Chain A
Amino acid sequence: MTEFTPFPALVGGTLIGIGAVMTMLFLGRIAGLSGMISGVLSPTSAEDWTWRVAFLVGMIAAPILIIAVTGTTPDFAIAQDTRLLALGGVLVGIGVTFGSGCASGHGICGLARLSPRSLVATAVFMTTAIITVFVSRHIIGA
């Protein structure tokens, strides 16, 4: 059970949007994390590698800054079963590679510019995620 948190949701969402717009204004790039990480693994040039690393360093610094300022770690609860974590991770890795994006690249940046590929991808991954949660929580886990 997690509480409905409208205020942090709106503030956080707005910051995500500002971050995505900054990425486009400064670098001319989509703020898609699967592409960002995949580009670090296999860069096309040194210059292409360093801006991605800088972006990821900024993202890692963000919660550290929050923890330093507020003194509390953000809420976090995750399944502890290693096999489940591994299976989920592998599926996400394969899926974002074939699907060319994830929640940030398709779900936010792509939808914001009305990309037909992103509209379809977002509808599909939202649907399979909802089905997966339904099956794992209400059929298998019931």
Chain B
Amino acid sequence: MRHLAALAAGLVFGLGITISGMANPAKVLNFFDFFGTWDPSLALVMAAALVVTAIGYRLVLARRAPLFDVKFYVPTSTLLDRRLIGGAAIYGIGWGLVGLCPGGLVPALTFGASEPFVFLAAMLFGMTVARMAPSMIMTRVKPA
């Protein structure tokens, strides 16, 4: 039941991403292109998603627990550090270069194009490297 629920949530989320145009890199890049072929569609996507999510979260988080788990896993950190800001800055550059974000990428894998798979492989590589980086630094400072 829990997995069926996760599947249903993913399906609705994926329908939204696909219908909205978030999985179309050309549309995403035009949203960022204020000084060229600006397409404001994604502003409406975000506005609608934010209103629904904000209201929905308020109702759901008033419960003691979710339906298929014992507790809510909501991030509680409020730390505004270089890691967060630097990471977000790097992510934005990558998003701006290609027009694909992780959420747009997943539905785009079904469109019959090879480019999303190249992007996926590179993204997984980047994730792996970034996760290894702190431990590599730790190893370097350790005495031989």
Residues of A within 8 A of B (CB): 1-6, 8-31, 33-34, 36-38, 41-42, 50-52, 54-67, 73-80, 82, 84-100, 102-104, 106-113, 115-117, 120-122, 124-134, 136-138
Contacts and interface: CB of A to CB of B under 8 A. Distances in A.
B101 A133 contact: no
Q: Which of B27, B49, B83 has the most CB of A within 10 A?
A: B49
Nearest to B66: A28
Contact of B130 (A9, A22, A97, A117): A97
A129 to B, nearest CB: 4
Contacts of B2: 26-27, 51
Interface string B52-66: 111011001101011
Contacts of B44: 6, 9-10, 13
Contact of B12 (A22, A97, A134): A22
B119 A24 contact: no
B92 A21 contact: no
Most chain A beta carbons < 10 A, residue from B79, B119, B124: B119
Contacts of B73: 28-30
Q: Binding site of B, secondary structure by majority: helix, strand, loop or mixed?
A: helix
Interface residues of B, number: 115
Nearest to B116: A78
A28 B80 CA distance: 24
Nearest to A1: B37
A89 B11 contact: no
B102 A96 contact: yes
A59 B10 contact: yes
A62 B40 CA distance: 24
8 contacts: A12-B21, A13-B52, A27-B5, A28-B71, A30-B73, A31-B13, A79-B99, A93-B94
A99 B87 contact: yes
Contact of B6 (A54, A85, A87): A54
A81 to B, nearest CB: 9
B20 A60 contact: no
Which 6 pairs across A and B sit closest by C-beta, in order of nearness? A93-B126, A12-B20, A58-B10, A17-B52, A89-B122, A99-B87
A125 B95 contact: yes
A76 B3 CA distance: 30
B24 A76 contact: yes
